[in-house]
Amino acid sequence: MRKTVYAISIFALIMSATACNKAAKTQEEAPAAEPQDEWIVLFDGSSTEGWRGYNRTDMPAAWSIDDGALKISGSGQGEAGNKDGGDIIFDRKFKNFELSFEWKVSKGGNSGVFYLAQEVEGEPIWKSSPEYQILDNVNHVDAKLGKDGNRQSASLYDLIPAVPQNSNPFGEWNTGGIIVYKGTVVHIQNGENVVEYHLWTDDWKAMVDNSKFKGWENFINAGGAAQEGYIGLQDHGDDVWYRNVKIKILE
């Protein structure tokens, strides 16, 4: 009996050593794994460094840091109605990227996340930029306007509805995301891809031509000649919060 146990133990050791040698050989032969792309933090919860007003060099006073979130204080007077409000941008252009953020709105709140935006003197940011809609779908009238829900949260504003529509109610945090890669754009809401479209294509131009954005050359050519632009956050006159804003370069 002892000889049998001893033989089994030796056999187990041999098999284990062989497996280790094979694993080591496989690791030596396999190419080294590429390092994970790193996230760039655009807002860390404590500083507005890197942000400024659209077509401004400073930060509008209506934006503040509130419990680790970047907050626009509502004026109740509609878009950019605050005395020192207005849309803001991160002061660097991005081309191919994945943007990640969290957002929540007050009751009836409205805002938006812009991307590939250009700064055009005398024109608002939304004339050159696609918009990821931020909205209280239950209590804001915009949710009932547009077509097929294309003004509800995470939609490509006034163009493509977010499907499924899975936003959380006002006062609760949502996760959002935008991927832009060589013209393909995806909107993400609460872990689900809800919009996909393709910039600068014939389909894109036809869609814009049949919308209120018809004839807006800077919008049709979002990102400009270099196909890159700013990330922006909208002041639409309501209390809205953003946090954990970060971006990953995809090129």
Beta strand pairing status for 174-181 and 131-135? unpaired
For position 1, what pLDDT does the model report? Answer: 43
| Neighbouring residues of 25: CB distance < 8 A, sequence distance ≥ 6 | none
Quote the CATH superfamily of domain 34-249: Exo-inulinase; domain 1 (2.60.120.560)
Span 219-236, average pLDDT? 98
Per-residue pLDDT tens for 66-102? Answer: 999 999 998 776 665 667 899 999 999 999 999 999 9
pLDDT reported for residue 79:
64
> What pTM did the predictor assign?
0.84
pLDDT at 83: 75
Q: Is the dihedral of CA 88, 91, 93, 99 positive or negative?
A: negative
Domain locations in the chain as residue ranges: 1-33, 34-249
What's the confidence (pLDDT) of residue 251? Answer: 82
